[in-house]
Structure 1
Amino acid sequence: MDIDLSTEEAAFRDEIRGFLRDHLPDTVKSGAAASPTVFVEPEIGQVWNAVLHAKGWLGYNWPKEYGGTGWSPVQRYIFEKECAEAGAPGLTVMGLKLLAPVLWTFGTPEQKAFYLPRILSGEDYWCQGFSEPGSGSDLASLQCRAVRDGDRYILNGSKIWTTHAHHANRMFCLVRTDAGVKKQAGISFLLVDLDQPGISVRPILTVAGDHEVNQVFLEDVVVPVADRVGAEGDGWTIAKFLLENERGGSCHAPKLIYDLGQLEMLARNESDGRGGLLADDPEWQRRVAQARLGAQALEMIELRIISEIAKGRKPGPQTSLTKLLASNLRQDIDLLAVDLHGVAGLQLEMQRPLYGDSAPDPIHSRAAQVAAPRYLNSLAWTIFGGSNEVQSNIIARSVLGL
């Protein structure tokens, strides 16, 4: 596999670099660096989204006919890599990367025309209503019911671990529309307006003290049949398509490698507790090298997947491999950050946000202040989007043929 950039691709990379240098706001960059949560807060993310939307690059992985760039898989990879190396925040995932591909693949012309422009403009902020109490990894066992009543559905039930539901005005949701068939066959995919009676959002604070996830209760909530994506009973097929994008729709390695580089720079000024510098400690060097080799191996796997996509093939079950590797590496690197700062890396400031003028004063440094809550939040990586155990089963069955 040839990983050298062509002349045209190198020029494209330089264009991206120049734009990031001139248009990535310092407040956004510093805010992202001081955010311990898995998903960036809207007050940071939406600012950066708006900058990219004005440039026409927000839908960088969207087809041109729906308002995207129409970039090739290689161009998309270059963009993600350059954004990671510039310290830009991750883009808003739920609408841009998860729902949008579902809409242009399975949606009606009316759904595409209405919802896709609103995702790009930021008018709609989406959350994902999949998991339920007792239906996490076994997603097919979900019990949130949607009963057909003429040209509408009436929803009753609850969703849990719903990221940014307290910010969202809409939720894409899996519901049970038929309890009399095989459990996977009785699920449908609905688009729910959260600004209506019968919906309540209860915050769930993480062990780090962050409000990122919620439980959403739905009591006689109304959804027009026109807001069902696909046919009734197609929800499981659509969910598998969406989860494949969630697990492999982005390149994780560039951000992991960037974060490792930041830790290596900080280690040049951190004491090893024995009169030397941590950067010179053999055990530290071993752990960093091990993580770097893992991230570089992941990058090669992601580039291979990009190569397959460029040939018109689907990402396939190998996205479970990238999700599994990226999740473990994310936790390893975040634990390195805690250890880097020694005792100062154990501080667990509960006030939020940790960026901006109202941020509490850190002990030692802002990086040390963020280290412990970021590591605690990163424990969710091996759970969301399908747990490590689920990914291992998919790899064993679909990739290895066991």
Structure 2
Amino acid sequence: MGRLGTGIGWRPEIAEAVEGMPGIDWVEVVAENVCPGHLPESLLRLRERGVTVIPHGVSLGLGGADRPDEGRLAALAERAEALGAPLVTEHIAFVRAGGALTASPPLEAGHLLPVPRTRDALDVLCENVRIAQDALPVPLALENIAALFSWPGEELTEGQFLSELVERTGVRLLIDVANLHTNRVNRGEDPAEALAALPLEAIAYVHVAGGFERDGVWHDSHAHPVPRPVLDILTGLATRVAPPGVLLERDDDFPGPAELERELHTIRDAVAAGRSRSAGGTTPTGTATGGAVGTGAGGVGVLAPPVAGVRERLGVAQTAVLSSLVAGTPVPEGFDRARMRVQARALAAKRADVVAKVAPELPVILGAEYREAFLAYARQRPMTAGYRRDALDFAGHLLKLGRPGNAGTRRRLRQWWLDRAGPAPRRPSPTTRALRALLRRRA
């Protein structure tokens, strides 16, 4: 894979702006948000211009105790082929727990959660990575995630964990410098130490994003300008290696094209500052090629599977953590209860936001009642499937309670639910057609 250059996360809300931006060499798209047979026209036009498109997955959960789901892997592979991507990316995280492995109800986080940096977790992650590598048609790169809490009893630093993961699997790394800053604030970890431990030749590209701090906790929002501390980490990385690609992520509260272009210029300047220092001979230099390390297709020889019981032990631990976050069970011993409460609130808020995006008619129907009603529902009902199922379950839950109190609003909600809850799609009702027309006008 050649050098990527400067890129931006493609989102429907800024598709037109991205197409018109000068100097965009590549874009990244959330894999689960595109359908291979019906790619957005904007992405097709970008590809025709020679802009590289990379699918970025968020739902594999390779850090989870279960083996990767074959259907999710096949879907990611299909998107890579449809987009002509040189690689695909995912996260070092778990997103679900429970189920057959632990003989407990399945639970979905709806977000990326940190894996414990232990030998057990590393063994499982390495095997899951090899399974994914064998199923994908292009190389895989994994991203370090932001975390609001730490696991007790961790055995490795972030740098050690990532370095050994690369050594054992040959996987590439997507280094998110904003996440390194998040972990500095929330977990007291030194980004420079993490970067110093990384195998530089394994870096595929770099993410940069904004966030905000509240009550001593950094929230990786992807909805704020990139702050100076994040840019400084990027400069520090660039003194060590020339990143093959650097990408700006923005997922909400999108500014205008001019502001996005200014942020991209600032990011380029931060990289240039690091490369200038490197040229001065003050730090180690190098070029990340994005190539695999080690030998063989995955970079190493055959890995022995984790010893018996490792997946079960990890599964029990992750289920206890996730259950405390989404189902109100006690926080496992050794975890910071205050941070776990922050994480639980963040998961519920994200869940409400994403449901509002996948089912935009619901906030229109319910108006100001939507958010409070959804958060009350989320406290009682953990998510066990995807967000679309969650939206249907939420509407059904309200209707069973005889809500909303306004008869006309309740009638519209019931019609919306009936249009989607049957075994086969129904012809959209006049109410649904009117809602869709209203949403199009708002867009």
What's the TM-score once normalised by structure 1's chain length? 0.24
